[in-house]
Amino acid sequence: MPDVFFPRVVGNEALRRRIGREFSEHSFSHAYILEGPRGFGKHLLARELAMAAACENRQSAQHTLPCGTCKFCRKIAADNCPDIITVKREEDRATMSVDVIRAMRAGIATVPNDLDIKVYIIEDAHRMTKQAQNALLLTLEEPPPFVLFLLLTEDARALLETVRSRAPILRLQPIEREAMRTYLLKDPKAVAAGAPALLCERPEEFEAILSLSGGAIGRALELLAPEARRPHMTQREHATRILQLLASNKEPDQLLLLVQSLGTARETVTAELTTLSLALRDLVLLTRTDRAPLLFYTDREAAGEIAAHFTTAHLLELLLATEAAVKALAANANVKLTLTHLLSKLLGAND
């Protein structure tokens, strides 16, 4: 029995141990639902499961599972195996139609070419129509013995109960901050994208990526691109400055100018205020405990110094006002009037 299961999957230790035992003993289910938000590593896990199912060293105590070195693991990792079939919705379609599933089922009984198993990876399974899910159900109920289905979804609740009952759900969890840090500094993709250099040259931006990623490796990799993180860094600068001005309570004109500079585009202003809400949430928690998990601030000491200028009640008032503004914008309220109203609340709370 291998000591390490799915070593290329970051975090999710309990999940890796559980399914590792099933695959090493060849007692895995004929179908699994892989659930998690975008960027949580569903595609990576699907590939690793396919490799584990085909791995020649599956029962070797000298190898991890999958080993990553046998001919089958290497073919799957290189995306060069005809027995790994990806099923996608039609281009420019918001849903996956029943025709896609029918086309898949037409070849389902054909025996594998290279492996002793065929793996069907169904992307965006939550976008299957009801008719498509019912068509898939016919195969899930009596699948060929050499077929493994992997349904990738952001929300398993979007699948029919009858589908969920025939496929165990593997829920991917967000990666903890330190595990994410280690990954970005060691993974070849992240290193090539400049993660170590960013940590050395602009550590505050590297730390911001850890916060902005929300525990999603895919999101963290995207944010390594300067153009992808630039708007987020601007939003963070604005939120930090707004709270500094509120803490000093001495420059209302500067606060007025800053809030007015957030723009007039609904989506942009909503993003700015959502970021401000995260910062306020951190400060509220820090007034209660200095061990609070932070979502916005990367420097706990600096955040604590800002929080010290407010009472918990004051920060809650600011947070509620900001969240109310976000809700108003979502309800199509006038952007300029919403910002004006928010500014009056912020200034009023500081009186």
For the record, the structure tokens of 340 come out as: 């004006």
Whether 17 maps to a domain, the answer reads: yes
pLDDT at 351: 63
Q: Is 155 exposed, middle or buried (0-12, 13-18, 19+ CB in 10 A)?
A: exposed
DSSP assignment string, 48-87 = HHHHHHH-TTTT-TTS-BS-S-SHHHHHHHTT--TTEEEE
Per-residue confidence band for 15, with pLDDT thresholds at 50, 70 and 90: very high
Residues 264 and 134 in one domain: no
Indicate whether 278 pLDDT > 70. yes
Q: How far apart are CA 347 and CA 255, in angstroms?
A: 9
The pTM of the full predicted model, rounded to 2 decimals, is 0.85
Closest alpha carbon to 175 in 230, 130, 227, 214: 214
Strand order in the sheet with 169-171: 84-87, 118-122, 147-153, 31-35, 169-171
- 232 within a domain of the structure (yes/no): yes
Has residue 131 been placed in a domain? yes
Q: Could you tell me how many helices (H) and strands (E) the chain has, helices first?
A: 17, 5
Look up residue 347 and give its amino acid: L
Indicate if the pLDDT at residue 2 is higher than 60.
no
Same domain, yes or no, for 239 and 94?
Answer: no
pLDDT at 291: 87
Please, are residues 80 and 108 in contact by the beta-carbon 8 Å criterion? Answer: no
Q: Which residues contact 138 (CB under 8 A, 6 or more apart)?
A: 105
Assess whether 158 and 229 both reside in one domain.
no
Say how many domains are in the chain: 2
Query: Closest Cα partner for 105 from 73, 77, 147, 64?
Result: 147
Over 113-164, what HEC string results? CCCCCEEEEECCHHHECHHHHHHHHHHHHCCCCCEEEEEEECCHHHCCHHHH
Q: Residue 1: inside a domain, yes or no?
A: no
pLDDT digits (tens, 9 = 90+) for 121-154: 999 999 999 999 999 999 999 999 999 999 999 9
| Parent domain of 140 | 13-171
Distance of CA 314 to the CA centre of its chain: 32
Residue with tokens 């569903």: 42
Same domain membership, residue 24 and residue 152: yes
Claim to verify: residue 250 and residue 138 sit in the same structural domain: no
Contact 190, 221 (CB under 8 A): yes
229 and 345 both lie in a single domain? yes
Q: Does one domain contain both 24 and 160?
A: yes
| Residue in 332, 319, 220 with CA at minimum distance from that of residue 270 | 332
Query: Hey, what amino acid is at 240?
Result: T
> Same structural domain for residues 42 and 165?
yes
- 216 located within any domain: no
pLDDT band at 17 (very low <50, low <70, confident <90, very high): very high
pLDDT attached to residue 239: 97
**Tens digits of residue pLDDT in 284-305:** 999 999 888 899 999 999 999 9
Amino acid making up residue 164: R
Token code pair at residue 321: 């006002």
Average pLDDT over residues 311-319: 96
| pLDDT reported for residue 197 | 97
- Domain containing 102 — which CATH number? 3.40.50.300
Is residue 1 pLDDT above 60, yes or no? no
Residues 167 and 232 in one domain: no
Same domain assignment for residues 249 and 127:
no
Q: Give me the residues paired with residue 339 across strands.
A: none
Q: Which residue has the tokens 């009472």?
A: 311
Q: State the CB neighbour count (10 A cutoff) for residue 175.
A: 24
What CATH number does residue 252 fall under? 1.20.272
**3 pLDDT tier (thresholds 50, 70, 90):** low
- Let me know: does 235 contact 265? Beta carbons within 8 Å: no
| 202 within domain boundaries | no
281 is a domain residue:
yes
